[in-house]
């Protein structure tokens, strides 16, 4: 009984694949979800709490289907996940025009000291406006 694949700790042999093919052929009207639940019941594939390993089994079936080992029935229902097809928000346009003029003309300006980082030797100061380029003559005049 050679091991062809491993999926989440379960060895999947050639005999398992043949069994799954036959299982699908014997239950052509079952959905993918029902097939995985029934397969878990047949194999006694359960979690430590006794619940079926249904989602793991669905992943195994999908992996085998994508590898061409088995043919799963068509998808009957798609989930309505609103995050899959959501619209991207419009980008926020930021005016990047540099401010020019005397520092006294650009008011109000607030300085706020942030907390020191334990490994840092200095603290940082954040401004309420983006960037200010000040020459020493402008700074001295205020």
3-state secondary structure the chain: CCEEEEECCEEEEHHHHHHHHHHHHHCCCCCHHHHHHHHHHHHCCECCCCCECHHHHHHHHHHHHHCCCCCCCCCCCCCCCCCCCCCCCCCCCCCCCCCCCCHHHCCCCCEEECCCCCCCCCCCEEECCCCCCCCHHHHHHC
User: How many whole angstroms separate alpha carbon 124 and alpha carbon 26?
Assistant: 70
pLDDT digits (tens, 9 = 90+) for 45-88: 888 999 998 888 999 999 999 988 899 988 887 777 777 777 88
Does the pTM surpass 0.75? The reply is: no
Give the Cα separation of 134 and 128 in Å (integer): 16
Tell me the mean pLDDT in the region 6-24.
86
Tell me the domain boundaries of the chain: 3-66, 103-141
pLDDT at 1: 46
pLDDT for the residue numbered 130: 44
Query: What confidence tens digit (pLDDT) does each residue in 80-126 have?
Result: 777 777 788 888 888 888 877 777 777 777 766 666 666 655 555 54
- pLDDT tens-digit map of 29-47: 889 899 999 999 998 988 8
């Amino acid at each position: 009984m050679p091991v062809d694949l491993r999926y989440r700790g379960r060895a999947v042999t050639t005999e398992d694949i043949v069994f799954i093919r036959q299982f699908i052929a014997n239950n052509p009207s079952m959905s993918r979800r029902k097939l995985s639940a029934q397969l878990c019941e047949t194999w006694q594939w359960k979690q430590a709490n006794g619940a079926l390993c249904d989602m793991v089994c669905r992943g195994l079936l999908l992996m085998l289907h994508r590898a061409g080992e088995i043919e799963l029935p068509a998808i009957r229902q798609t989930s309505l996940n609103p995050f899959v097809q959501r619209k991207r928000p419009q980008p926020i346009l930021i005016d990047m025009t540099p401010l020019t003029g005397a520092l006294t003309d650009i008011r109000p300006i607030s300085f706020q000291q942030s907390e020191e980082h334990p490994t840092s030797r200095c603290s940082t100061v954040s401004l309420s406006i983006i960037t200010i380029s000040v020459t020493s003559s402008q700074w001295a005049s205020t």
